[in-house]
Chains A and B, each alone.
Chain A
Amino acid sequence: MNDSPFLDFLLLRDLNVRVVVIGSILLGVGSAAIGCFALLRKRALVGDGVAHAVLPGVAIAYMVTGTKNTFALLIGATIAGWISMVVMDFISRRSRIREDAAIGIVLSVFFGLGILLVTHIQATGSSSQSGLDKFLFGQAASLVLNDVVVFGAVSVLLVVAIMLLFKDFKILSFDPEFTQTIGLPARGLSLVMTTLLVLAVVVGIQAVGVVLMAAMLITPAASARYWTDRLGIMLVLASAFGALSGVGGAFVSYVAPRMPTGPWIVMFATFFFVASLLFAPKRGVVARVVRHQLNRRRTLAENILKTMHMLGEDDGDVFAPRSESDIQARRRIPTVRLHLGLRRLQRDGYAVESKERHWRLTQEGARQGARVTRLHRLWEVYLTQYLQIAPDHVHEDAESIEHVLTPELEEELDRLLERPLADPHARAIPRR
């Protein structure tokens, strides 16, 4: 019909492609979901420790069974992963060594042992040893139907367990001590969570390898955290990021078979993370910068209006045209910023340029100028009367507070101070 590899891929025409794609999705979903809890419990590194620690289990299972049967190797990996968790827990609880150090110790000792064993197997020239490499660096493209069945079973188990125990995992992650005091089996829940984490790691390493497994657990969860403040949505989003990363990695290795799948899955996960970091609403960097900029602009606009209002107070004509240097004589504002600020005020209907670089306030502009001046002076009165601060120390504070007071707070201040007529420097407070 056509030769587009993209379309071929999308339609999953090839059985092999289908297997790899479905396997990668299942992997992404399961590990991302359990990774959310690891992240929220501040145990992000534990997954990394476990991922490295499974290697000796795989090697020993291979040596014992003499095959690279996936199922046997997974059992070996699970046992090793589990032991590593128990050892980490024991070290950090029973000695003066802290958890991060305990993870480091377990990670390096287990991984070192694993490398030793794998090297030994290779040296003895066993013909099928190449299967073990795949655990080190991952080889999603070599997934076969059997692997996917195992992945599917584990992923379904992970998702079902998390759905059933959602509220219990939530309370355990938020407040483990309280969990214990209300009689929920905190230890047992923690053990179940740990086991699920080990299972996710054990299936995941076949696709991305021990070195990159932590990224599969933590990166989608960290990305999802940027977009939401609800745990349920966070889990769903993280799973979606995990699944999409899996598909992305599978696609790259389909169009470029020499490309390793695992690192590409992680690249896609990282891409989602960077995109979240930058573009998430509220928490994202861009949103923050925009918010900050808007704030600065508003502050500048309010300061200009206030200054023009005060110039009006000086000579009794609020609507008189002011040159830009008049304004600067009253308040130091850099020329370019002032000019841009005035242009924006004109656009928004607060000021009009009457002739070259001369500006006058509109009705609305005068009203806003009076409002900011009022807030500034009300706050100064409040500081001197209620907090007993000397009048010569209140100006700086009022400079920032005048831009944040809401109309409700203004009314409350005004009422509290019994509608004062003058500020501590005996200047009149403009009334509405």
Chain B
Amino acid sequence: MQMNDDRNGRPGAVIESPPLEVHDLTVSYSRRPVLWDIDFAVPTGKLIGIVGPNGAGKSTLIKAAMGLVPLASGHVNVFGGTLADNRNRVGYVPQRSSVDWDFPTNVLDVVLMGRYGRLGLFKRPRASDIEVAYESLRKVGMHEFARRQISQLSGGQQQRVFLARALAQDADLYLMDEPFVGVDAATETAIVELLRELRREGKTVLVVHHDLQTAPEYFDWILLLNLRLVAFGPLQEVFTDALLQHTYGGRLNVLSEVAELMKQQERKGRDPL
């Protein structure tokens, strides 16, 4: 892989193929725009917090980056290529509430799912995959729970299982959707430790985060989002009162009003329901 060389490139300098590049991205849900013209390139080896108010499109942004929602316009590059070419280099941690935890399976099985992408269709996990899964569980402190039924886990344990599954993917870029929501203090510490470990290994991590209090403590870069990209850069430059005010304040009302108008226009036009 020729892009691997770039990972050792100087941080902050112009990077030839960044882990994630988002170009003029616009996403709409039933014609109502939820993200407008998002454009940024992520540097290698940073912990990046995606911060913004409720309904700012934070989750939608990483879903769009993972190809889970259709793009109205724009495109996404991963390590200089398309997402399809680099699937194995991207790990995804969805919101814990996105699955049914009463599914008949155990912890080890869920973590092994992180290996399925490399295995491809039909092939069953091998001993080496199980080894990786155990190692991933150890990193989040859950190896003693490997045979536990997933329905018996607490919220924090569920979250750690999801993180272990992403670790088992052995990716270079991680996108995490609200991993800190509703977890206990022990899990919060475990996740922060894990994020720093990933950074030490030179991996790039984007985390959707809702808590302004802890954001400057956990992340070294911040992406401020509210329907559009407000600012993106190192913590000291971006996490300022003025920019936060801009993100959370009333300035953007015009934008959301226009979005609402477009939706209503659309509804009036064709949909009687």
**Interface set of A (CB-CB < 8 Å, partner B):** 40, 42, 95-97, 164-165, 167-168, 170-171, 173-175, 177-185, 225, 228-231, 234
Best-buried of B63, B67, B103, B124 by chain A (most CB within 10 Å) = B103
B200 within 8 A of A: no
Partner of B104, one of A178, A181, A225: A225
Whether the Cβ atoms of A228 and B104 lie closer than 8 Å is: yes
A178 to B103, CA, bound (A): 15
- Smallest distance from the beta carbon of A37 to chain B beta carbons, Å? 11
Chain A residues within an 8 Å CB radius of B124? 167
Chain B residues within an 8 Å CB radius of A225? 104
**Interface set of B (CB-CB < 8 Å, partner A):** 30, 63, 66-68, 84, 87-88, 90, 92, 94, 98-100, 103-106, 109-110, 113-114, 116-117, 119-122, 124-125, 149, 151, 165, 169, 271, 273
Closest to B125 in A: A167
Chain B residues within an 8 Å CB radius of A96? 30, 271, 273
Chain A binding site: helix, strand, loop or mixed by DSSP? helix
Whether the Cβ atoms of A178 and B92 lie closer than 8 Å is: yes
- Smallest distance from the beta carbon of A185 to chain B beta carbons, Å? 7
Give me 26 A-to-B residue pairs in the complex whose CB atoms sit less than 8 angstroms apart, sorted by A's number: A42-B100, A96-B271, A96-B273, A97-B273, A168-B122, A170-B109, A173-B103, A174-B100, A175-B94, A175-B113, A177-B68, A180-B66, A180-B68, A181-B90, A182-B114, A182-B169, A183-B117, A184-B117, A184-B120, A184-B121, A229-B105, A229-B106, A229-B149, A229-B151, A231-B104, A234-B104
Q: Given that A96-B273, A181-B87, A184-B117 are contacting pairs, would A174 and B105 also be in contact in the complex, using a CB cutoff of 8 Å?
A: yes
Whether the Cβ atoms of A165 and B122 lie closer than 8 Å is: yes
A177 to B122, CA, bound (A): 19
Q: Given that A96-B271, A175-B113, A177-B68 are contacting pairs, would A182 and B87 also be in contact in the complex, using a CB cutoff of 8 Å?
A: yes
Chain A residues within an 8 Å CB radius of B103? 40, 173-174, 231
A178 to B99, CA, bound (A): 10
Whether the Cβ atoms of A182 and B121 lie closer than 8 Å is: no
Chain A residues within an 8 Å CB radius of B109? 170
Chain A residues within an 8 Å CB radius of B110? 174
Whether the Cβ atoms of B105 and A180 lie closer than 8 Å is: no
A167 to B273, CA, bound (A): 40
A86 to B105, CA, bound (A): 30
Chain B residues within an 8 Å CB radius of A97? 273
- Smallest distance from the beta carbon of B112 to chain A beta carbons, Å? 8
Closest to B271 in A: A96
Partner of B116, one of A164, A168, A173: A168
Chain B residues within an 8 Å CB radius of A173? 103
